[in-house]
Chains A and B, each alone.
Chain A
Amino acid sequence: MSVRLRPDAVEEAQEALRGHERVLPRGAGTKPALSSPPDGTVTLDVSGLTGIEEYDPEELTFTARAGTSLGEIEAALAENGQYLPFDPPLVAAGATLGGAVAAGTSGPLRYRSGGVRDFILGVRFLDGEGRLVRAGGRVVKNAAGFDLSKLMVGSAGRLGVMVELSFKVFPQPQAWATLTVDCAGLDDALALMGALATAPLDLEALDLEPPGRLWLRLAGLADAMPARLERLEGILERSGERLEGEEEGALWREVRDFAWVAEDAAIVKVALVPKRVPELEAKLEPLAVKRRYGAGANIAWLAWPGERPAQELDELLRSLGLAGVFLTGSPPKPMVGTHRGGAFAQRVKSALDPSGRFPDV
């Protein structure tokens, strides 16, 4: 077959796409639940579309091809004291920029700074017919045309094949510090989170490790850190364990890269709000599913045991009206639970992929 399924250039990708009836793109494959093709579908491997095309540190924006590894991007940014505030997971595993967008995955730091959706500026992608489409731009503010860049976030390769992305970035904070606090239990922890929600603290991350451990992360000027930690403890009305330096960074990298998820378990992201946590906890507790709540309990990260069928989680989430997505493992369909979008989603999908070349959303 003459058509390459691992293109190095956009034109090759277009040709490859047009040469097959059923296609699913894949970057580094770190989120196999999203990139494993259903039967009869070929994989379009875009990990060859690499390279940072434009990066002006003073502008705090960059443009890179979709297959560029996040590791390469983070390294380039770090050289200039900058970083990706949405804190994409699975960097060490080799995740790509396009993959992070397609999976819509942000890490613990998204609590304060925002997620992938808040940092993406523009995209070039191939639609289901292989047409190269550009949306958004390279500047930090732009209201021209429909916001297709945002649509690509979480699209899981079902709406288009991204080939190039533009992002804004932030300067790295000087120092980081973490406080872990053990609460009496889930209710106590959630009550404390409720109080923190309206406190002027600028917490970078707020994670809940059930039943009652809170992880609070601060960032900023090193000089200011001791006073801020003290004030934080004052608001919490209890002291916690302080962590700073290299150890602190390593700790959060492990959280972000799911080091706490067992080898044979699947990583599942569920969207929720803190008030829904007790219901979900009540369902998961008896199942012995390891879990962790990120972004102030706006995300539940589950380690769904390999022996449990995805179907079971699908039903569980449906009963709660929550939406989830498998990142790893091999579920029949990555999206589980109750997803919204309805007729709007169908119409948008039909516009971007009229002949159904990509799998259903």
Chain B
Amino acid sequence: MLLSALGAIYPPARILTSRAELAPYECDALTSFRASPRAVVLAESTDEVVETVRACHRLGVPYVARGSGTSLSGGSLPIEEGIVIALNRLNRILELDPEQRTAVVEPGAINSQVSAAAAPHNLFYAPDPSSQSICSIGGNLAFNAGGAHCLKHGMTSSSVLGAKVVLPDGELVELGGESIEPVGPDWMGLFVGSEGMFGIALEITLRLMPSADRTRTVLSAYESLEAAGNAAAKVVAAGLLPVAMEIMDKLAIEAAEGSVKPGYPEGIEALMIVELEGDHETVDREFEQLLEVLEGAGATEVREPDDDAQRALYWEGRKSAFSAVGWLSPDYIVQDGVVPRTRLGEALAEIGRLSEEHGIRVANVFHAGDGNLHPLILFKGSEEGALERAEELAGEILRMCIRLGGSVTGEHGIAMEKRAFLPEMFGEEDIEMMRRLWRAVDPAQIANRGKMFLPEEELERDEAADPDAAPSSAAVAGTAGPPPGGASSGEARRDTR
């Protein structure tokens, strides 16, 4: 049924069903979950996507739309009994209007390619997740991606003006528009960050920003991570509005030096990269002020890159840090939590304490300007129980974020990874409201089913099984040990090997 329906939409070469074709789609950048879809279709037109969604709806087949598969929360993890709609080939920039500062793109368009296309007009696309060289705009939209420079320019939702969307039942709607200022309820704003559960954005209107007249970057070194965190708070409090403010600790610096070799100062405990942007008259003056604040905040060294190439290298070191940690440790957990920025120093000290208490190394690399922490918890998966201990520490860090009044995710999203944490951050009514919204938009529950919440029927089953107790981890994560041929109830299996 499914395959013949797909066969009516796609030529055979664009329907992948063999094991070798499907296996590489089994996970995204969150590799602790794997699921094998029934098929992957390679869409080359928006009509094909719409037809595919309609077929899925008709047949009750769940689907996940996938761009480049760089989600760190399992956002593009396939659904066992469902299909993957691969959007990589829908990657055109359809329109670029410099005078309106807008671009219209297909969902598979690559983030950095939008900026590249806008550059000749002295414009750029602001959100810059570290994976910007490959992540797709559709994925950015679904997860409201952030990045180092969203401190000033906002998250993806501030840069998405409108979209043509296919809802989970195949109905087409238009949300938002071209204007930076919407009229009426901000439907587009609600759609952004809905993790693929409200449908697929097919044509996306993006806001572009004029490139700055001048950019100045300064790298400062500190004797402790806490000191760096406090320096970040001081920069914010001083009324400076940097476009980016990033901190890396000793381990993260070591990892970067092992990988892209940015040439950061040696023998330091932490560094902070602060970038100012604007017209040169202002930036040059603010830069002096920034240097004063940094020196007053205990920076042991302050360094401005010699040229654009060195600045790019400083940034490359920062942006590759997650992956580069592979140089330090065979395995690690990437965390993403937010704390109020005035409590950064406190949060970092607490992470240090927890790390010591658990005897587990934690590397820190994060967006200090907005209090968005990314602790990287290092462990050796081959050691008995090491993963569990690392996860316990990760959980404690997230709970600390909630306790300090923050969030369990700043930019990676909930999806698979933080499903269990949503109820720690929100109350019952809050979650129930989100679920009601989900049911209303996708009554059949086929769009990226299983992300953010458990599907309804599983909830009911779990509650029926034991109405008073929280279900066992196996119900959520699949059974431990080597995955069975097909995990029950369509849940992704945990890759525990």
**Which residues of chain A have a CB within 8 Å of any CB of chain B?**
56-61, 81, 104, 106, 110, 114-115, 117-118, 127, 131-135, 137-148, 150-156, 158-159, 170-172, 193-194, 197-202, 220-221, 223-224, 227-228, 231, 269-275, 295-296, 298-299, 323-325, 335, 337, 339-345, 347-348, 350-352, 361
Contact = CB atoms under 8 A, between A and B. Distances in A.
Interface string B227-248: 0000001001101110000000
Given A143-B409, A147-B157, A150-B157, A221 B414 contact: no
B66 interface: no
A340 B177 contact: yes
B99 interface: yes
A344 B173 contact: yes
B490 interface: no
B278 interface: yes
B171 interface: yes
Contacts of A151: 185-187, 189-190
B371 interface: yes
Interface in B91-143: 97-102, 121-123, 143
Q: Which range contains the number of B residues in contact with the other chain?
A: 35 or more
A271 B179 contact: yes
B282 to A, nearest CB: 5
A142 B407 CA distance: 6
Nearest to B191: A344
B266 interface: no
Contacts of A132: 429
A274 B100 CA distance: 7
B193 interface: yes
A148 B157 CA distance: 12
B146 A141 contact: yes
Nearest to A137: B407
Interface stretch (B217-225, B255-263, B433-441): B433-441
Interface in B149-190: 150, 154-155, 157-158, 162, 165, 167, 171, 173-187, 189-190
B436 A351 contact: yes
Contacts of B162: 340
Contacts of B494: none
B175 A171 contact: no
Given A147-B192, A172-B239, 8 more contacts: A110-B180, A117-B182, A141-B410, A143-B193, A148-B433, A153-B185, A154-B184, A197-B98
14 contacts: A56-B342, A118-B158, A137-B407, A143-B193, A147-B144, A200-B211, A221-B281, A228-B282, A273-B102, A337-B183, A342-B173, A344-B165, A344-B175, A351-B440
A147 to B, nearest CB: 5
Contacts, number: 301
A323 B123 contact: no
B102 to A, nearest CB: 7
A159 B433 CA distance: 12
B150 A145 contact: no
B437 A141 contact: no
B154 A145 contact: no
Interface in B278-295: 278-279, 281-282, 285-286
Nearest to B278: A202
Contacts of A228: 279, 281-282
A140 B341 contact: yes
A224 B181 contact: no
A347 to B, nearest CB: 4
A337 B177 CA distance: 13
B325 interface: no
Contact of B279 (A131, A201, A299, A347): A201
Contacts of B340: 56, 59, 61, 138-139
Given A60-B236, A271-B183, A273-B100, A341 B410 contact: no
Contacts of B194: 146-147
A235 B3 CA distance: 60
Contacts of A295: 180-181
Given A150-B157, A153-B189, A110 B241 contact: no
